Amino acid sequence: MTDKALIKEQAVTALQSSVNSWLAENSRRSLASLSRESGVSESSLRRLLNNSTWPSQDNVFKLISYLGSGNIVSTVNALAEPLKNQIKFDLYYLDFKELKKYVSLGGKDSALKDFTHQVVFERSSIGPGISVAEIRELFGAYGLTAVENLKVAGLITEVDSTIKCVAEYKYHAFTTQMTKDFLAQSIATFYKTQTNYNYIFSFNDGVTTSGYGQIMDILENAQQAIFKIIEDSPGDIPVTIGGFMDTLTTNVLFDKAKVQS
């Protein structure tokens, strides 16, 4: 068995132990309740426990976020060593110091079932929030339905016809899949072609492994610099900022560890 395979096997065992410990703490707990509250399907949990199957990135993120407490980084750092190492390999962005105050939504992200719900929630967490009138202007009657759904989920409140995020979730992190979907929909919905006050670019070409790694470094450094600006210059202009990089193929050509070697 290779070192990488051994680490993953040990990580699976540690994650199984975390799930079983959670179940053992209360006789009323079950895989069904863990599924409902964490947002990970019951079938995925059973595959983890019965077949030692490592969950997808998004499911690992949801599971450790729910089983842990506090912000994302402290939760990961409190895990057993092999599990912590595997998660940091899969979810390398958790090393960014700027994420230390961010929390996972856990099972509550199921309330963000489409782009309308996601935008209402995101805007509620920015500056003074978003007015009910603007929600109606953006999304019509369905936007008001989204407001009611998010209230029921405990993610937002309404004060004087302004929708605000519940303080606990103001600084939140989406799963990789939700980030991907939100980025694509944001470009389609909000990118304005008749103004100079926005920015978009796309390069499609070929690079060496070293070149790929250098571009990844630029994007990661840009993310940290943008976090710093947001922290130092808070304001009421709601911005959406996204970075995207992948290969124009469905094949996984190499992994991050090999790129950096």
**pLDDT for residue 257:** 46
H/E run at residue 104? strand 103-104
pLDDT per position in the chain (261 positions), as tens? 556 677 788 888 889 988 999 999 988 889 999 988 888 889 999 999 998 888 887 788 888 878 876 666 677 777 888 888 787 777 665 655 555 677 778 778 889 999 999 999 999 999 889 999 999 999 999 999 999 999 999 999 999 999 999 998 998 888 778 888 999 999 999 999 888 889 998 889 998 878 887 888 888 888 888 888 988 998 889 999 988 888 888 877 766 444 444
For the whole prediction, is pTM greater than 0.75?
no
**pLDDT for residue 153:** 94
The distance between the two most distant Cα atoms of the chain, rounded to a whole number of Å, is 62
Q: What are the helix (H) ranges across the chain?
A: 3-24, 31-38, 42-51, 57-67, 72-77, 81-90, 115-124, 132-139, 141-152, 176-190, 209-232, 256-260
Give bridge partners of residue 172 from the DSSP assignment: 103
Q: With both helix axes pointing from N to C terminus, report the angle between 176-190 and 57-67 in degrees, rounded to the nearest 10.
A: 110
Measured CA angle at 5 (ends 99, 80), to 5 deg: 45
* 3-state secondary structure at position 210: helix
CATH number for the domain running over 108-169: 1.10.10.10
| Residue 108 near residue 96, CB atoms below 8 Å | no
Distance CA(109)–CA(232), nearest Å, equals: 28
**pLDDT for residue 96:** 57
**pLDDT for residue 260:** 46
Written in H, E and C, the secondary structure of 115-128 is: HHHHHHHHHHCCCC
Using the 8-state DSSP alphabet, how is residue 92 labeled? G
The residue with tokens 């009611």 is 148
Residue extent(s) of CATH 1.10.10.10 domains in the chain: 108-169
